[in-house]
Amino acid sequence: MSVATKLQSSICEPRAVLGPGGNRVRVSEAPKRKNEGLKKPPQRPRKPVSEIPEAVVRNNVSVDSTCSSDTSSSCSSAKTVSPRRTVRHKSLRPAKLVSDDMEVVKSAGPPKRCEWITPNSDPVYTCFHDEEWGVPVYDDKKLFELLVLSQALAELSWPEILHKRDMFRKLFDDFDPSSIAKFEEKKLLSLKVNGIPLLSEQKLRAVVENAMQMLKVQQEFGSFSNYCWSFVNHKPIRNRFRYGRQVPVKSPKAEVISKDLMKRGFRCVGPTVIYSFMQVAGIVNDHLITCFRYKECDANDNKLDLKLKTEEKTEVLKLSEAMEIGEHK
């Protein structure tokens, strides 16, 4: 046979057509069997369910388990999958069993503090913020100490003051007003020399003068605490500032207290000093509402309010009982 004849015969042969099921030869164009009477190859007998490999059964079960009762028609096709074919479903993952007794544990991070406390802040200052700043104080010696430290803010920062706090307490006899009021000129000079001048001479003299005036306030009001808290009706002022820029350096209430203290002979007690004193003594709660200490101080304030209300009710009952007894007599 010539080359041309071979080419012609190859061109006339039917070619595979790309059908919907893939590159297969269509049934109509497929060549007929030469021997139509040829027997079909014997089919292998299907194995019973008990002999099917366990891995295949699991694959089929995973497919069947995804079918609901509402989609029985679609499930029937999944159940007839041949054991030899494995169907992979990437979206199917093993379910995690969670008991009712298990609790979801969240990752514990650092508590949210006020903006002026950063990760780089002095640990002493951070501890001061977390434990003292904004907590209501009612002890006279403690209040006098915080007043002196607030006066020192004009020359030192809080971290510097806190690092030298023990030195302050040693020089000022643990902030005992009755002892400080007896300081003489010689003692003041020794404070200036040996105190590594913590405060200027004007501030040192103001501390001694304020101790004298505080003794007078104690005699008039019973305690310096009663005097200070009387300006806010014995209840802390709760500011709800969200940002640090909203916190003021002074307030109208601080100006009122400052003027009254000056009239009584106190020195170096301007509105800015008094507002710092109110903040650190807990007379005003200036923790930001995003700070964890705001809620804690607020909870303590609520307990205090409940205690005061209970005491007021008790006093009213005592007065009413006394009036009833007087009427009967």
- Tens of each residue's pLDDT in the chain, 329 residues: 554 444 444 444 454 444 444 444 444 444 444 455 555 555 665 655 555 555 544 545 444 444 444 444 444 444 444 444 544 555 555 555 544 444 444 445 678 999 999 999 999 999 999 999 999 999 999 999 999 999 999 889 999 999 999 989 998 999 999 999 999 888 888 877 766 567 888 888 999 999 999 999 999 999 999 999 999 999 999 999 999 999 999 999 999 999 999 999 999 999 999 999 999 999 999 999 999 998 888 775 555 555 555 555 565 566 666 666 666 65
Are the CB atoms for 228 and 143 separated by under 8 Å?
Answer: yes
**Contacts of the segment 252-256: beta carbons below 8 A, 24+ positions apart:** 253/278, 253/284, 254/278, 256/231
Report CA dihedral (130, 136, 142, 143) to the nearest 10 degrees: 120
User: Does the annotation flag 297 for ligand binding?
Assistant: no
Do 214 and 144 form a contact (C-beta atoms < 8 A)? Answer: yes
Please give the CATH superfamily to which domain 123-293 belongs: Hypothetical protein; domain 2 (1.10.340.30)
Report domain extents, the chain: 123-293
Question: What single-letter DSSP state applies at residue 96?
Answer: P
Is 114 one of the annotated binding-site residues?
yes
pTM for this structure?
0.61
268 is in an annotated binding site: no
- In DSSP notation, 9-76 reads HHHHS---EEETTEEE--TTTSPPPS-TTPPPPPPPPPPPGGGS-HHHHHHHHHHHHT--GGGHHHHH
Distance separating alpha carbons of residues 148 and 266, to the nearest angstrom: 12
Helix (H, G, I), strand (E, B) or coil at 157: coil
Tokens representing 156 are 């030192």
Torsion angle, alpha carbons of 292, 148, 304, 310, to 10: 180
DSSP category for residue 118? -
Task: Give me 23's structure tokens.
Answer: 């590159």
89 is in an annotated binding site: no
- What's the length of the chain? 329
